Amino acid sequence: MAKFYFRYGAMGSGKTIDLLKVAYNYKERGQNVLIYTAKIDDRYEVGKITTRIGIQSDALLFDSETNIYRDIKKLETKPDCILVDEAQFLTRKQVIQLSDIVDFLDIPVICYGLRTNFKMKFFEGSGPLMEYADKIEEIKTICECGKKATVNMRMINGVPVTTGPDILIGGNDSYKAVCRKCYKKLTHHVAGI
């Protein structure tokens, strides 16, 4: 019986390298894996997912108009697993399509992404992923203070910011993974002050 997974973590937690490890394990056993990534993420090469340490793989692209269920249903040979990187950029409709792939095509789906943006609000796809996934797993990383990092703090010229567009594609140059307490201290978001 196929399952629907959402594996999330702060930036730098190793989500993409975990996805590539899972893909490798399937391929090593002679199984077919399809990897999707968001078309909007153009930090490296379009049509590739790339880890911060340089390991990469080809990937199919999705944008808000992609009907993933229809695309998979049309395939002559169904994949043994579907992996989705940058899953926070999925639409609610696409999350439901992925759950339909699990439920009606019996193909496991594992999504990797961020839970919240730099304002500590769900991304469009993250809330529905939390609602629909059979299993939710956190991939952990640590803040400079040593606590678990859960927030992706946006940085401009080394200074934390709390305003701006919800989506700004970037890496270590634009974001820093911090714990909630450090986020509040560094952005001056302390209740009652």
Exposed e or buried b per residue across 123-150, where buried means at least 16 C-beta atoms within 10 angstroms of its C-beta: bbbbbbbeebbeeeeeeebebeeeeebb
Active site residue 28: no
**Backbone φ and ψ of 61, nearest 5°:** -100, 145
Q: Are 112 and 16 in contact (CB under 8 A)?
A: yes
| Catalytic-labelled residue, pool 28, 65, 76, 86 | 86
Residue corresponding to tokens 């609000």: 121
Catalytic positions: 86
